[in-house]
Amino acid sequence: MTVRMKLALTVFVTGALAALGVAVAMLFAFERFEQESTYRRADAFLGRVTGMYDDLRGQQASDPAGFDAKLRRLVLFEPATQLYLLDGAGTMLASSLEGGSARGRVDLGPVMRAVGQARPPYVMGDDPQRPGTTSVIAARPLGRPGAPAAGYLYLVAGDGRGPAGGSELLARALAQPALVAAIGVVALATLLAAWIIAAVTRPLQRLSAAVSAVTRDGLEAPPAAGDALGALPRASHDEFGMLAEGFSTMLPRLRAQWEALRRLDHFRREGVSNLSHDLRSPLTATTACLETLQARWADDAARLDDARLVEVALRNTHNAARLLQSLGELAQLDEPEFKLRTEAIDACELLDDIALRFAARAGAQGVQLQTEAPSAAPVVEIDVALFERAVANLVDNALKFSRDGDRITLAAEQRDAAVAVSVSDTGSGIEPDEVPRLFDRYHQARRSVAPATGEGGRGLGLAIVKRIAELHGGTVEVVSRLGAGTRVTILLRAG
Ligand SMILES: Nc1ncnc2c1ncn2[C@@H]1O[C@H](COP(=O)(O)OP(=O)(O)OP(=O)(O)O)[C@@H](O)[C@H]1O
Ligand SMILES: [Mg+2]
């Protein structure tokens, strides 16, 4: 849900709740007002009746039927109102009810409150016509003032609403034009709020569109015509306006800095690549000279020391040549323009070729090198030369960290929509805390067991593997146990 929707919904819900609260409060106030005014009218009416007629008890005793009729006449114009004559204990002696005298008693508690000194705003008492319910009542004592009451004239004010009462009143109140007006005001306020919210949050919306564009296209993409930020109102000086303006000022700077970084990075890669290329010939020449010397002094006992020195120089020259080659390769692979030349190939065939290439070295080390082929050979879409380089790096590592009697297995298997190409060894294994940093460039596990070959590593082999896997849209994972061995797996999409 957008911020606009949330704010508009908040305004609407708040307005609707406020309108409902006001309606309920009005309903209660109205009901109370009606009860109070009914009570006052009833009390005043009883005052007039008791003022007009003396000895109501006597009149009833002498002519009960005539008295009932008299009571009916008194309330002729208030059909919902009933009059009762009670004795001092609350027993009904006569009533205005149609069809004869009333029977039973009414609760004297409310009667006492109605005739007492401290009169409440209104009194609710028994309604003999509807047993079990209460209505607004009024009462007047009969007899001489100062003497105990000889009886009471008791009036039950009907509300004329029938038994439905409160709920019917509510339904009626809901239909009131006042409530319709309240709903109208809430709707209008919501619309107005939505319009204001839309106006206030417009810069925010444009800003969010601009941020999404940068997230989607990156900083390299040139600002498109009609860029979302171009339309940001410069004049708006609220927080949103300032935020949008800040972003639109920051974006060109970020683009410029990004461009400078890209150029620098390109120069660096180009420099490394050229250096690697230019140093290759002198190093090859040096190696050739050193190899000639080594061959010349191999059987010369007098030149034993010199032969050792040449051997060290040759080893270092080899290392330097390989370092240069790795650096050159990485620089090439990092180029954004680097393109793969892919073809579909049987992964197991590729592994067999690589195993063959390393067979002699494995044999010399006493390491068993094998490939594991599933019945249905997985086909992968890869740049063969590049991928061979990646797997060769893994086999090189496995051989470096294996000893006589260890085993190295190259395997390829289908895993759902992916093909897993793995190189496992039973060599020295890697410390668990080293594993996350293995793919960092120039990282070599400090506590790893000395390489079997005695050759110094450069810490670039796995970085190259990772880059090659990335270029193929794949990933690399390492599982290793110190002293038990290592498995490095390249996961590729199946071809
Ligand atoms: N199969 C393995 N068994 C044990 N340790 C390994 C294995 N593969 C990699 N490592 C550890 O990971 C480190 C990084 O490997 P990586 O291939 O990146 O560098 P390197 O082999 O030292 O040098 P380079 O490959 O550049 O000649 C190694 O130095 C080694 O400590
Ligand atoms: Mg390596």
CB 471 within 8 A of CB 333: yes
| CB under 8 A, 24+ apart: contacts of 385-390 | 385/341, 386/340, 386/468, 386/471, 387/350, 387/468, 387/472, 388/350, 388/353, 388/354, 389/329, 389/464, 389/468, 390/464, 390/465, 390/468, 390/469, 390/490
Predicted pLDDT of residue 228: 52
Question: Ligand 1 centroid vs 400 CA: distance in angstroms?
Answer: 8
Predicted pLDDT of residue 237: 73
Containing 150, the helix (H) or strand (E) segment is none
Beta strands at 407-415 and 368-372: parallel, antiparallel or unpaired: parallel
| 485 close to ligand 1 (CB < 6 Angstrom) | no
Predicted pLDDT of residue 163: 47
Question: Ligand 1 centroid vs 308 CA: distance in angstroms?
Answer: 27
User: 101, 85, 90: which is closest to 53 by C-alpha?
Assistant: 85
| 397 close to ligand 1 (CB < 6 Angstrom) | yes
Closest atom, ligand 1, to C-alpha of 423: 1
Q: Which amino acid makes up residue 11?
A: V
d(CA 53, CA 51): 6
Q: Quick one: tokens of 40?
A: 């006052």
| 430 close to ligand 1 (CB < 6 Angstrom) | yes
d(CA 298, CA 33): 124
Ligand nearest to the CA of 464: 1
Predicted pLDDT of residue 455: 57
Q: Quick one: tokens of 183?
A: 């709903």
49, with CB counted inside 10 A (0-12, 13-18, 19+), is: middle
| 452 close to ligand 1 (CB < 6 Angstrom) | no
pLDDT tens for 35-84 read 899 999 999 999 998 888 888 888 888 998 888 889 899 888 887 899 99
Question: Ligand 2 centroid vs 427 CA: distance in angstroms?
Answer: 14
Tell me, letter by letter, the H, E, C secondary structure of 299-339.
CCHHHHHHHHHHHHHHHHHHHHHHHHHHHHHHHHHHCCCCC
Predicted pLDDT of residue 144: 81
Residue 417 CB coordination number (10 Å): 7
Question: Ligand 1 centroid vs 369 CA: distance in angstroms?
Answer: 18
Closest atom, ligand 1, to C-alpha of 455: 27
Predicted pLDDT of residue 293: 93
Question: Ligand 2 centroid vs 457 CA: distance in angstroms?
Answer: 6
CA dihedral angle for residue 82, residue 88, residue 91, residue 92, rounded to 10 degrees: -30
d(CA 380, CA 345): 5
User: 459, 346, 353: which is closest to 400 by C-alpha?
Assistant: 459
Ligand nearest to the CA of 438: 1
Q: CA dist 439 to 36, 227, 459, 476, Å?
A: 87, 39, 8, 9
d(CA 130, CA 172): 23
CA dihedral angle for residue 401, residue 407, residue 413, residue 419, rounded to 10 degrees: 10
Closest atom, ligand 1, to C-alpha of 446: 31
| 422 close to ligand 1 (CB < 6 Angstrom) | no
Q: Quick one: tokens of 404?
A: 């006589």
Question: Ligand 1 centroid vs 445 CA: distance in angstroms?
Answer: 7
* Residue 216: alpha-carbon gap to chain centroid: 21
Ligand nearest to the CA of 459: 1
d(CA 44, CA 37): 11
Closest atom, ligand 1, to C-alpha of 444: 29
DSSP 91: B
| 409 close to ligand 1 (CB < 6 Angstrom) | no
Ligand nearest to the CA of 396: 2
| 402 close to ligand 1 (CB < 6 Angstrom) | no
Ligand nearest to the CA of 428: 1
Nearest CA to ligand 1 atom 25: 461
CB 410 within 8 A of CB 427: no
Can you list the residues of the chain whose pLDDT is less than 70? 100-102, 159-176, 178, 222-236, 445-457, 495
Can you say whether residue 97 is alpha, beta or left, with left for phi > 0 and alpha for psi between -120 and 50 degrees?
Answer: beta
Mutate to test the pocket of ligand 1, among 327, 426, 444, 446 (most ligand atoms within 8 A of CB): 444
User: 364, 388, 387: which is closest to 493 by C-alpha?
Assistant: 387
Helices and strands (DSSP H and E) totals, the chain: 11, 12
Nearest CA to ligand 1 atom 8: 397
Nearest CA to ligand 1 atom 4: 429
d(CA 356, CA 223): 53
| 486 close to ligand 1 (CB < 6 Angstrom) | yes
CB 297 within 8 A of CB 346: no
User: 452, 449, 463: which is closest to 323 by C-alpha?
Assistant: 463
| 448 close to ligand 1 (CB < 6 Angstrom) | yes
Closest atom, ligand 1, to C-alpha of 485: 3
pLDDT tens for 177-195 read 767 787 888 888 888 888 8
CB 153 within 8 A of CB 165: no
DSSP string, 219-267: TTSPPPTT-GGGGS-TT--SHHHHHHHHHHHHHHHHHHHHHHHHHHHHH
| 466 close to ligand 1 (CB < 6 Angstrom) | no
Q: CA dist 276 to 164, 340, 459, Å?
A: 98, 21, 17
Predicted pLDDT of residue 114: 87
